[in-house]
A and B are shown apart, each in its own frame.
Chain A
Amino acid sequence: QVQLMQSGAEVRKPGASVKVSCKASGYTFTDNYIHWVRQAPGQGHEWMGWINTESGGTNSPQRHRGRVTMTRDKSISTVYIELSGLKSDDTAVYYCARDRTSEGEMDVWGQGTTVTVS
């Protein structure tokens, strides 16, 4: 079945960087974009951006550009998000999610990765 398996929890100091991975299985990796979404404690969901798994092209909200880098490795069906210059309010659960239609329909989600900045 279609699965997205994320890397484990991370703890970082302010100013450091963190890289979270998301490995896809059960479908053709390059057929679907992958989104990154985060949820801070007690807060709503925030879109961090998406990556075209075929071309490697990315798009993210203006407020995250320069601090967020999304990449993919087609050979191992894995996407990554790296966040630099970490601040305390980057503490959140980070999810990857597959886009079924390339129009924002997130039909399969990873299990989430907790990133704590402290």
Chain B
Amino acid sequence: SSELTQPLSVSVSPGQTATITCSGDTLTYGSVYWYQQRPGQSPVLVIFGDSHRPSGIPERFSGLHSGDTATLTISGTQARDEADYFCQTWHSSNGALFGTGTQVTVL
């Protein structure tokens, strides 16, 4: 399928671990990117190349990718991590495909 499926929402207590999955056939073709988007703000890249953090992104953000599934993990979740997170892949012919998005709530 040409969709990237994510859970609609994930709830986590402060200091605990949040895990967000992204699944789809197109994930087998290339790297995965993850973005954070706070309400009313533009997306921010938090993971590139499956598991690499851009400069300035805290170490508590990590990524894994195997076959048709990718995972974003937020360890020691903080209140500031409350946001929408979405995955993305790239295909040279078809362009970018985005995940359905997951709302992370820090209770």
Contact = CB atoms under 8 A, between A and B. Distances in A.
Contact of B42 (A46, A50, A110): A110
A104 B98 contact: no
Contacts, number: 59
Nearest to A106: B45
A8 interface: no
B89 interface: yes
Contact of B44 (A59, A109, A111): A109
Contact of B88 (A49, A61, A104, A110): A104
Contact of A104 (B43, B44, B54, B96): B96
A26 B67 CA distance: 37
B99 interface: yes
Interface string A77-101: 0000000000000000001010010
B31 A103 contact: yes
A44 B99 contact: yes
B94 interface: yes
Interface of A is mostly: strand
Nearest to A108: B45
Interface in A24-69: 35, 37, 44-47, 49-50, 59-61
Nearest to B97: A47
Interface string B17-32: 0000000000000110
Interface of A: 35, 37, 44-47, 49-50, 59-61, 95, 97, 100, 103-107, 109-112
26 contacts: A35-B96, A37-B96, A37-B98, A44-B100, A45-B43, A45-B98, A45-B101, A47-B98, A49-B95, A61-B94, A61-B95, A97-B43, A100-B48, A104-B30, A104-B88, A104-B90, A104-B96, A105-B33, A106-B35, A106-B45, A106-B96, A107-B45, A107-B48, A109-B43, A111-B42, A112-B42
Given A46-B98, A106-B35, 9 more contacts: A37-B96, A45-B88, A45-B98, A60-B95, A104-B88, A104-B89, A106-B43, A106-B88, A111-B42
